[in-house]
Structure 1
Amino acid sequence: MEHSAHHAHTTHEHAAHTTTTWSGAAKATLHCLTGCAIGEILGMVIGTALMWGNVSTMVLAIGLAFVFGYSFTLFAVRRAGLGWKAAVKVALAADTVSIAVMELVDNGIIAAVPGAMDAHLSDALFWSALLGGFAVAFVVTTPVNKWLIGRGKGHAVVHAYH
């Protein structure tokens, strides 16, 4: 009986590890994308509404993407009992690479789509380039997160506090 229980436990752990690889990476990427999207959309909307130039708007959007992206992890690990200093370290370790890749990809797409940076909030081009950039960024960033998590880095740092 003890051997059966051990075998079931080992099989379950192996299955969970295999499942966690891609689904865990996708969940980590979705978590990151949510914070990034909130910040980036807010920055693009503010910059566009204030008729700022492309560079100023993009800098604001990227800055807010990092702020919101980090804040999701920061507040989650704070709820788990970490102090502010430790929580900030965990958020930086967990999300920096993921957010950076995501921002590089989605802003690269927005910049590459002709007319997207000059489009207004009421233009379909503005929203399709922004949302399309997020979709491509998700696809590109998920394998990055899988690689990081597989090495105990990135979002894997947060798992110890869930």
Structure 2
Amino acid sequence: MKQQSLTRQAVSATLHCLTGCAVGEILGMVIATALGLPDVPSIALAVGLAFVFGYGLTMRPVLAAGLPLRRAFAVALAADTVSIAVMEIVDNGFMMAVPGALHAGLADVLFWAPLLGGFVIAFVVTVPVNRALIARGRGHAVVHAYHHGHADHGTADHGHADHGHADHGHADHGHADHGHHA
């Protein structure tokens, strides 16, 4: 049962990562293609935006859980850097491997098919990477401490997974919260 749960978490984390990567990658490739940028700047723009959107999607719920911007960014870096990097290497590698794909126009299937096909391949490759990271308390495991606003800021705030010990309204070692907030 634990193996299925771990795999489900990895699939969920990879879909989350893929969403940010896809938005950034597509936006970057569309901008680069529309501007007629050469290959290296096109890929750099697409990869850069994939990281920006990937981190942004992770930071949103972490910020909502009450972490300051700097800590939320640190959590996003810990959660997504490896996943986004793997996804971008696979996706862009596939895009470069298809002859003419980088030089195809926005209305051309030769542009869209390799781009979208690369996402599918990147997803398949990245799920086991995320699964291994989560199993070790890394990757998206560091974000789970902040879901639904329940965070153990002392543990997960340092880039380590909470491993299910988030504060769910329980007293803190005999020091109940009586409505006083710092």
TM above 0.5, yes or no, is: yes
Q: 1:115 aligns with which of 95, 100, 111?
A: 100
For residues 64-83 of structure 1, the C-alpha deviation after alignment (integer angstroms, 9 at most, x for no partner) is 00000000011110011111
Question: After the TM superposition, which residues 123-142 of structure 1 pair with which residues of structure 2 at under 5 Å, given as runs?
Answer: 123-142=108-127
> Could you tell me how far 1:19 is from its partner in structure 2?
2.8
Identity of aligned residues (%): 64
Q: For 2:14 and 2:79, locate their aligned partners in 1 and report how far apart those are by CA, in whole Å.
A: 11
Alignment counterpart, residue 57 of structure 1, candidates 42, 45, 61:
42
More helix by share: 1
**Equivalent position amino acid for 2:112 in 1:** W
Gaps of 5+ in 1: 1-14
Q: Give the partner amino acid of 2:144.
A: H
Q: CA RMSD in A?
A: 0.7
Q: Provide the rounded CA distance (Å) in 2 between the counterparts of 1:140 and 1:24.
A: 15
* Distance (Å, rounded) in 2 between the aligned partners of 1:18 and 1:134: 25
Task: Kindly provide the amino acid, as one letter, of the partner of residue 65 in structure 1.
Answer: A
Identify the residue that residue 85 of structure 1 maps to in structure 2. 70
Deviations along 1:15-53, one digit per CA (max 9) or x if unpaired, are 3x3332111100000000000000000000000001111
Give the 5 Å matches for 1:1-162: 15=1, 17-162=2-147
| Equivalent in the alignment of 2:161 | none
1:134 CA displacement:
0.3
**Which consecutive segments of 4 or more residues in structure 1 shift more than 4 A?**
none
Paired residue type of 2:8: S
**Bigger relative contact order, structure 1 or 2 (CA pairs below 8 A, ≥6 apart):** 1
Could you tell me how far apart the structure 2 residues matched to 1:89 and 1:132 are?
Answer: 31
Q: How many residues align?
A: 147
> What's the TM-score once normalised by structure 2's chain length?
0.79
